[in-house]
Amino acid sequence: MSLLSIGTLAFDAIETPFGKTDKIVGGACTYISLAASYFVARSRVVSVVGGDFPKDRLNDLQSRGVDLDGLQIKEDEKSFFWSGKYHTDMNSRDTLVTELNVLESFDPIIPDSYKDDTSYLMLGNLAPVVQLQVLERLSVRPKLVVLDTMNFWMDIAMDDLKKVLKKVDVLTINDEEARQLSGEYSLVKAAEVIRQMGPKYLIIKKGEHGALLFHGEDMFFAPALPLAEVVDPTGAGDTFAGGFIGYLAKTDDVSFENMKRAIIYGSALASFTVERFGTEKLESLTPDEIEARVAEFIKLATFNMDFAAV
Ligand code: AMP
């Protein structure tokens, strides 16, 4: 099934208790499209980069089946740049720098061939107004629209964000952002408030504490795999989103039951991302490694109960 993702292709400078990087290639859409490439043979990207973005990294994406016909390259401008520093527990971070650069004037162009043939749409982290434009510029509404966003956009573009929320099926945000968006501390209450804003499905990511899926009266909890090595959590959320929508697109089944499986695949891929800085680990996985990790999740979370013996 056809999958289109939007989001940043960017430079990141990251500091964690385990080290520090200079500018490395990151960005929401980089992680999303790499994760999705393990599920769909061809996924499409609408985004923008400056002339400074390394061409060999674009070639890498293409060689993994990522279609970049919707990528604009502004030769005279600079790519989006983000810098962040993680706290000791690595579950929270401070944004040190956000330079929008090429994003400031981004006007997304959707290739004609995508307009009536996008079944799955991943609206990755970008200005809400751009996310809205992409939705409005498609001539046929996708079967499933997933939205990711972050506190940065809640702080500066809440009205636009509320407009996009009305039009999407699934929202993925972290626990802190769910509290900010809803004004509620309890995540159950936050989920209720947020789903009234539009999305029928809500996924709240809790970092090393797993993820929650809410839909109607139903709730599902997926653990995160306890890992011996967590080096850099950057991109975990985007990897999760790319794995989630990639699995749904591959299986073409948007039922709640299948979303549970998609969450486990997303979580499994994210567990690899955090083991190295940037995209290093995510780029070099084999299908067998992914299946083995999914099996670890199943083992971690399954148990039998013999009530008669109690
Ligand atoms: P995550 O760790 O999954 O929340 O996402 C980290 C990625 O998001 C980094 O690679 C950044 O380049 C990108 N990013 C950070 N801030 C923004 C923003 N305001 N808009 C879009 N992408 C961003």
Say if residues 102 and 80 touch (Cβ distance below 8 Å): yes
- pLDDT band for 91, please (50, 70, 90 cuts): confident
Each residue's pLDDT tens digit, 205-242? 999 999 999 999 999 999 999 999 999 999 999 999 99
Atom of ligand 1 nearest to the CA of 127: 20
For residue 279, give the amino acid letter. T
Higher pLDDT, 88 or 143: 143
Q: Give percent above pLDDT 90 in the chain.
A: 96
Band of residue 92 on the pLDDT scale cut at 50, 70, 90: confident
Which pLDDT tens digit goes with each residue over 180-210? 999 999 999 999 999 999 999 999 999 999 9
Nearest CA to ligand 1 atom 12: 27
Evaluate: CB of 27 within 6 angstroms of ligand 1: yes
Which residue has the CA at smallest separation from atom 1 of ligand 1?
235
CA distance 271 to 259: 18
Specify the pLDDT at position 283: 95
- Domains of the chain: which residue ranges? 5-301
What is the distance in angstroms between the CA of the first residue and the CA of the last residue of the chain?
Answer: 48
**Which numeric CATH code is attached to 5-301?**
3.40.1190.20
Q: What are phi and psi of 73, to 5 degrees?
A: -115, 115
Closest CA to 149 of 192, 210, 202: 202
The reply to whether ligand 1 has any atom less than 6 angstroms from the CB of 127 is no
309 Cα–ligand 1 center, Å: 50
